[in-house]
Amino acid sequence: MIVLKTEQLKKHFGEVRAVDGVDLSVDKGSLTAIVGPNGAGKTTLINLISGLLMPDSGKVLFLDRDITKLPIHARARLGIGRCFQIVNLYEGLTVFDNIRIPLISSKGIGGNMISSLDAKRSVTEEAHEILGRFGLLERKNMIARDLPHGDKKILDIAVAYALNPAMLLLDEPTSGVSTFEKTKVMELTRGLIKGKGITALVVEHDMDVVSSYSDKIVVLHQGKVLAEGPPKEVMENHQVRSVFLGVEK
């Protein structure tokens, strides 16, 4: 079953063809990696799918529904969660609140003005459970801004995960994370999303990370899909090697 599909998606910034006719289809429960050199259009593609940018032409279909024109929050409500290359948290609030906010949203209780949030057992328990899974429970009362960078990246993913999405868009989940921690972040993420059957689209430029953790790789180059398929196949593709790895033909 296909969860996400894009049809001839285009976004130009002046002369730059950031995304230039991309057809993409993502299978349910799979982890698809989008790779490509800097400026290949990876982040623009994620922005088009999550609604931060509107395409010049083409379509985005999510669970067979045309979401091309939907605003960000409506896509999130349909089940598209996303995390960010540059950590994007509620910096001034506690780690616990960072998780409670998406839970409030996914439970649809944001309009409730009369009950105490602290007395909402289901929110508290679920927040604790999620923090436990991401290994952040001990730091739940810390202000997000005071967390070390690695934990901030993990919390960023946890915020998107707490939305209980059908699909997660992860824009460089390991950027700025030390090599040792990269494995930790990726293993944790992969385990959690596979465990819940969440479909994931990951933007990454670290080839090692990509080849060991993804089911499928899509290579973008100058806004177009250069190659796609299982990691092994794509890694052996000559065109990909020349463009992406700088290996001569």
Q: How far is CA 153 from CA 61, 141, 158, 172, 225, in A?
A: 28, 17, 9, 10, 28
Q: Which of 88, 175, 183, 211 binds other proteins (CB under 8 A)?
A: 88
User: Is 81 one of the binding residues for other proteins (CB under 8 A)?
Assistant: yes
User: Is 202 one of the binding residues for other proteins (CB under 8 A)?
Assistant: no
Q: Which of 5, 28, 77, 133 binds other proteins (CB under 8 A)?
A: 77
Tokens of residue 160, six digits: 């998107």
User: Is 71 one of the binding residues for other proteins (CB under 8 A)?
Assistant: yes
User: Is 141 one of the binding residues for other proteins (CB under 8 A)?
Assistant: no
User: Is 176 one of the binding residues for other proteins (CB under 8 A)?
Assistant: no
Only one of the segments 12-20, 29-37, 82-90, 175-183 lies at the binding site for other proteins (rule: CB under 8 A); that segment is 82-90
Comparing CB distances to other proteins, the nearer of 131 and 159 is 159
Largest CA distance in the chain: 67
Comparing CB distances to other proteins, the nearer of 44 and 213 is 44
| Residue span 94-113 as binding mask against other proteins, x where in contact by CB under 8 A, dash where not | ---x--xxx-xxx--xxxxx
Residue type, position 199, single letter: T
Comparing CB distances to other proteins, the nearer of 70 and 207 is 70
218 beta partners = 34, 228
206, with CB counted inside 10 A (0-12, 13-18, 19+), is: middle
42 three-state secondary structure:
helix
Comparing CB distances to other proteins, the nearer of 50 and 214 is 50
10, with CB counted inside 10 A (0-12, 13-18, 19+), is: middle
Q: Report the alpha-carbon distance of residue 225 to residue 236 in Å, rounded.
A: 16
Residues lying near other proteins in the complex (CB under 8 A) are found at 50, 71-74, 76-77, 81-82, 88-93, 97, 100-102, 104-106, 109-120, 123, 159-160, 162-163
